[in-house]
Amino acid sequence: MHILLTRPAGRNEALSQRLVDLGHQVSCCPMMEIAAEPEPGVSPLYQADAAFFVSVNAVEHASVHLPQWPEIQYLAIGAATANALRQFGLEPITPPKHDETTEGLWQLPIMQTLAGKRIAIVRGNGGREEMAQRLSQIGCQVDYWQVYRRQVPNFNAIDALQSWQRSGVNAILATSVEILQNLFSTLPESATPWLRQQLWLVPVERVADAAHTLGCQHILITGGAGDDAIVESIANWKTR
């Protein structure tokens, strides 16, 4: 399999090496660029009872503004985000390994203990509102802290497409709806049939649904956006 990795710069190298070690070919082209939020404002974590981090980027960019991490409860969905928090001596609440999703997190009884509390959600610009809505339903006060921005990187789309086609790319990793949409919107329209023919590696049903909407037919749900989940799902897919 020749897999195109599209996570932001700095998030593909370790996964690439693991896939190469398993005998796959790998190409990398970040389809999302991460930049620090120039004016993130005062952190709401010091007034919060708990903080939910949406990504590794949220942890890394928040840490710049936190001389000391407050002693509150921390939550994370993905294994990579949880590990990033552990680097600061924290032990976050995480969903079970077999269901690294927002829904998986809400299946944990401990989530109900957050009812009526003040929760900070640390994220980039935009983002989904599902977690905030669920927290509001149990009486939580939700504060957002935007610490980074996501944007489409500049690259020569035509040259990149020709390179992928020449080298035989036949699978694409898209760990978010935004990355998926960026691929379809930045490549020339003539690339759409080729994109639809690829095997798409996506972490959860939500991204799979977006891929179906764009006309993709070959989709493998990895069960998580972390390296372990991706490698394991590819290994299992090969043995079918």
**Tens-digit pLDDT profile for residues 124-139:** 987 778 899 999 999 9
Per-residue confidence band for 190, with pLDDT thresholds at 50, 70 and 90: very high
What pLDDT, on the 0 to 100 scale, is given for residue 230?
93
Give the strands of the sheet with 141-151, arranged side by side: 33-36, 141-151, 118-124, 50-53, 73-76
- CATH topology match: 2-32+152-238 vs 34-150: yes
Query: Are 5 and 16 contacting, i.e. CB atoms less than 8 angstroms apart?
Result: yes
- Domains of the chain by residue range: 2-32+152-238, 34-150
Does the pLDDT value for residue 239 go beyond 60?
Answer: no
Q: How far apart are the first and last CA of the chain?
A: 14
Tell me the CATH class for 34-150: alpha beta
Contact 36, 64 (CB under 8 A): yes
Say if residue 238's pLDDT is above 80.
no
Instruction: Quote the pLDDT of residue 125.
Output: 86
| C-alpha angle 76-78-81 in degrees, rounded to nearest 5 | 65
Give dist(CA 131, CA 33) in Å, integer.
24
Task: Please check whether residue 181 is in contact with residue 6, taking contact to mean a CB–CB distance below 8 angstroms.
Answer: no
Tell me which residue of 104, 93, 99 sits closest to 52, measured CA to CA: 93
Average pLDDT, the chain: 93
SS3 118: strand
Q: Which amino acid is at 184?
A: F
Query: What single-letter DSSP state applies at residue 29?
Result: -
pTM greater than 0.85? no
Query: CATH code for 2-32+152-238?
Result: 3.40.50.10090
> Could you give the CA distance from residue 116 to residue 186 in angstroms, rounded to a whole number?
43
Who's near 13: CB < 8 A, 6+ residues apart? none
CA 164 to chain CA mean position, Å: 23
